[in-house]
A and B are shown apart, each in its own frame.
Chain A
Amino acid sequence: MSKQNDKELQDVEIEGMPQSISQEQLFAKMMDFWLEAAKLPTIGPLYAFSKDASSSTQELFNLGKTLLESKANADQYWVLINSAFAKAYKQTLENSPKKFSSKQDFETYRKVMIEAFEQTFTELFDSKEFAIVYGKLFSNQLDILKSLQGMAERSVKVLNLPTRSEVDEILRDIHDLKKSVRDLKGRLEEVNARNESTGQIAT
Chain B
Amino acid sequence: MNPQGRLQPDQAQADKPQTGGEHVSGSPMLADGKASGLFAEYVESLLNIERVKSILHSAGSIEVGCTPSETLYETRAYRLLHYRQMVSKTAKTPILVIYALINKSYILDLQPDKSWIRSLLSQGFDVYLVDWKAPSSADKYVSFDDYVNCYIDDCVDIVRKKNKVDKVTLHGYCMGATMSVMYTTLHEEKVRNLATIAPVMDAEKDTTVIGNLARHMDVDKMLQSVGNLPSEQLYMCYSVLKPFKQGLNKYINLVQNCSNEQFVENFVRIEKWLYDTPPIAGETFRQWIRDIYQQNLLVKNEMKLGNETIDLTKITVPVLNIIAEEDHLVSPQCSAPLNDMVSSADKRLMRFHTGHVGLIASSYSQNNVLPKVGQWLKTRSQ
Contact = CB atoms under 8 A, between A and B. Distances in A.
A172 B221 CA distance: 17
Contact of B218 (A117, A138, A172): A138
Nearest to A176: B141
B144 to A, nearest CB: 13
B102 interface: no
Contacts of B224: 142, 146
Nearest to A105: B38
B142 A175 contact: yes
B141 A135 contact: no
B349 interface: no
Contacts of B41: 103
A125 B212 contact: yes
Contacts of B217: 135, 138
Nearest to A165: B224
Contacts of A146: 221, 224-225
B165 interface: no
Contacts of B356: none
Interface string B340-368: 00000000000000000000000000000
A132 interface: yes
A157 to B, nearest CB: 18
> What is the predominant secondary structure among interface residues of chain A facing chain B?
helix
B167 interface: no
A179 B150 CA distance: 9
A135 B216 contact: yes
Interface string A109-123: 010001001100110
Nearest to B38: A103
A192 B142 CA distance: 29
Interface string A91-130: 0000000000011000000100010011001100111101
Contacts of A128: 212, 216
Interface in B184-231: 207, 209, 212-213, 215-218, 221-222, 224-226
B31 interface: no
Q: Interface residues of B toward A: which range? A: 20 to 34
Interface stretch (B6-14, B237-245, B269-277, B374-382): B237-245
B209 A126 contact: yes
A125 B221 CA distance: 22
Given A110-B252, A118-B245, A142-B226, A132 B209 contact: no
Nearest to B306: A179
A173 to B, nearest CB: 10
A182 B212 contact: no
Contacts of A118: 242-245
A130 B343 CA distance: 39
Nearest to B215: A131
Contacts, number: 76
A175 B120 CA distance: 37
A110 B218 CA distance: 38
A121 B239 CA distance: 11
Nearest to B142: A175
Contact of A122 (B138, B150, B242, B249): B242
Contacts of A135: 213, 216-218
Contacts of B216: 128, 131-132, 134-135
A121 B244 CA distance: 9
A32 B35 CA distance: 69
A126 to B, nearest CB: 6
B30 interface: no
A191 interface: no
B235 to A, nearest CB: 14
B225 A142 contact: yes
A130 to B, nearest CB: 8
A168 interface: yes
A151 to B, nearest CB: 13
Given A135-B216, A143-B225, 7 more contacts: A102-B37, A122-B209, A126-B209, A126-B212, A130-B212, A146-B221, A182-B150
Interface of B: 37-38, 41, 138, 140-142, 146, 150, 207, 209, 212-213, 215-218, 221-222, 224-226, 240, 242-245, 248-249, 252
12 contacts: A110-B252, A114-B249, A118-B245, A125-B212, A131-B215, A134-B213, A134-B216, A138-B218, A139-B221, A142-B226, A175-B141, A179-B146
List the 9 closest A-B pairs by CB distance, nearest first.
A135-B216, A175-B141, A118-B244, A131-B216, A117-B244, A146-B225, A139-B218, A125-B209, A125-B240
